[in-house]
Structure 1
Amino acid sequence: MYWIIQPIISKSALVTELTYKFAGFERFSSLLFDSLLGILIINSIPTEWKLIENFWKIVFLSIEQLENVINWLTQNPAGLKLNDALNTFLSNFFLYHIHLWKSYIIALQHSSVDRIFLVGFSTLGFSVLIAFISDFLRIVSLHLFCFHIYTYRFFREIFEKKFFEVLESFLEKNFFQTPKNFWSPSVLKN
């Protein structure tokens, strides 16, 4: 089971930072300074800290805006010369992906991330907090990478196949049937 998640764990900034911190006793002074800095910063934050609540509001607002843009583009293609069936297919595909991302974000929101954030910030130090934020933002923005991969593969399949089919049919029909194409290389060679 470990071999399945090992590549994911090895790319985590949090695991890398913790491995570096606890690698040897010679790093004790930097570990102590880092933990003291984390405790100092956590004590300087006011108790009514609304940063995490504002973060979730911004995430859900951006999801709503993205859904509105896709719905608008479905109804008004804004200069895109695609047919209606393809517009509907693409919009349904991306709306479904946004729905999956939204349910994933809701699960993240209710998973006590803020408590983990504060505990890790105060006890493990400032660098662990930065590594945690880095991993968290990678997870939250995973949908952007998925959008890119989906659209790249989809359009590559559509346009590359179509281009090569058109090119192949052109070559089959026209290349050897016209005397100009047949005689030109022979004449130009001399």
Structure 2
Amino acid sequence: MRENQKIVIIDYGAGNIQSIKFAIKRLGLEARLSSDAEEIRSADKVIFPGVGEAGSAMKMLRSTGLDKIIPGLTQPVLGICLGMQLMCNHSEEVDTKGLGIFDADVKRFENNVKVPQIGWNQITNLESHLFDNVESGEYVYLVHSYYVPECKDEIARTEYGVNYSTALHRNNFYGVQFHPEKSSKTGEHILKNFLNLEL
């Protein structure tokens, strides 16, 4: 893993930012928090976190112009949890238009399962270098009420009342529904793989 790379975590007021920063520090690297367009554009790797509600988060992105910056990034970008959902076309949560990076719409879980899904669940059907040295069936930590149905950008799948896409990839953009920073050794592997990605 290249030690001198510049890692930026997008700071827009809707992220579990410190825990991601600490997770990267455990890997021996430093990450900067920034909402500055030029600093984000000049990063080697960009992490787009998200915790909370889609409508409010998109308003914050629009108010800072980040809704225009993020889709134009050319380095590896990792969306986490709500960050991944905001990278889709649309979310049923507050009827929110997303960034349109992933060709998918975000749906709410049906009432046949407990909502939100909170806790550990398995990822399967792994299809990306993001999951190098990660076995199909390993457990990750999730907290969410909305999900991405299976789609062509899927690189990992989880079952919770329905099979859904728990990770996505298109071009330089990656997204994970789970929290790698809270997913023990499996999450650490996935973060390390992201930081090792070369386009």
TM-score, with length taken from structure 1: 0.22
The structure with the larger Rg is 1
TM-score, with length taken from structure 2: 0.22
